[in-house]
Amino acid sequence: MKFLEYTPLDHISDFLSHVNLGERTVKGSLEAYSCKHTGTDKKLSLSLENEILDYLGKSSDSDSSSPIDYLCCRSSRKTLIYLLLTLNHIYPDHDFSAVNCQQFFTEENWDSFKQTFDTYMFEASKEWFETNKDSPLLETLYKALDEVVKISECEIYSYNPEADADPYHEKGTLWAYHFFFYNRRLKRVVSFRFNCVSNLALADKLNDDEEDGYTFLDGMDM
């Protein structure tokens, strides 16, 4: 996977890096990647493929929660592997399990994504419009995504792990969403994650970090 730089995505990502809404802060990030293997991707891809095939060999068709039908299709396995490789590049220190992660991916469409965005990013969108009156945030996002991955050709997935397995989760998180826009023909994927954190929790975390720092300094011989 190779990180791709796109100014329109960067502009939105910069805005969403910290949107203070008083009692809470919305944060988000957009990253685009080429699905061409680089570095250790090929080795990791093969490892993930073997894990999935091993999982298929041990699973039973009678298991109603099993994603066997999906994983039996080679193109679906490739899609899953691309999404996992993208996560691996975003969070290089986190261990992603092919089997567990597959159960957290849900196929979406633009309407379901838009509904989530409109509901949870309503206030952030108002903040955006204060300084970008020429184009609403969702419209700007659509144009940027369309430039990179062609929305009409995209497969859209949401990633919904448990909080303790989510590398994006932080103290005081009120809600969090992670979507992937994957164009099979262009072999590109865009990751869009956004969350909302209580400012009280952020302040507590800052105080804890400062106290830890003071404790460390107090114990030093000067």
Range in 3-17, 42-56, 147-161, 199-213 with the lowest mean pLDDT: 199-213
CA distance 215 to 218: 5
As a whole-number percent, the residues of the chain with pLDDT over 70 amount to: 78
pLDDT of residue 174: 93
pLDDT of 50 strictly over 70: yes
pLDDT of residue 134: 83
CA angle 67, 68, 72 (to 5 degrees): 125
- Here the tokens at position 77 are 């396995």
Q: Give 79-94 pLDDT, tens digit per residue.
A: 888 888 899 889 888 8
**CA torsion through residues 143, 149, 151, 155, sign:** negative
pLDDT of 74 strictly over 80: no
pLDDT of residue 221: 46
Helices 122-131 and 137-149 pack at an angle, to 10 degrees, of: 90
In 80-187, which ranges are E strands?
Answer: 105-108, 155-159, 173-183
Q: Give 2-20 pLDDT, tens digit per residue.
A: 999 999 999 999 999 999 9
| Domain spanning 2-212, CATH class | alpha beta
Q: Give 77-130 pLDDT, tens digit per residue.
A: 788 888 888 998 898 888 776 556 666 788 899 999 999 999 999 999 999 999
pLDDT of 71 strictly over 70: no
- DSSP states of 20-79 as a string? E-SSEEEEEEEEEEE-S--TTHHHHHHHHHHHHHHHHHH--TT-TT--HHHHHSHHHHHH
**CA torsion through residues 40, 190, 166, 101, sign:** negative
* Helix (H) / strand (E) containing 178: strand 173-183
CA distance 189 to 91: 16
Do 23 and 64 contact (CB within 8 A), yes or no? no
pLDDT of residue 47: 77
- Burial group, residue 43, by CB count within 10 angstroms (0-12, 13-18, 19+): exposed
pTM: 0.82
pLDDT of 220 strictly over 50: no
pLDDT of residue 24: 93
Phi (first) and psi of residue 176, to 5 degrees? -155, 140
- Here the tokens at position 12 are 């939105």
Average pLDDT over the chain reads 82
pLDDT of 216 strictly over 70: no
Do 120 and 177 contact (CB within 8 A), yes or no? yes
pLDDT of 212 strictly over 60: no
pLDDT of residue 108: 93
- Here the tokens at position 51 are 């894990």
Bridge partners (DSSP) listed for residue 30? 192
pLDDT of residue 59: 63
- For the chain, the domains span 2-212
Do 192 and 12 contact (CB within 8 A), yes or no? no
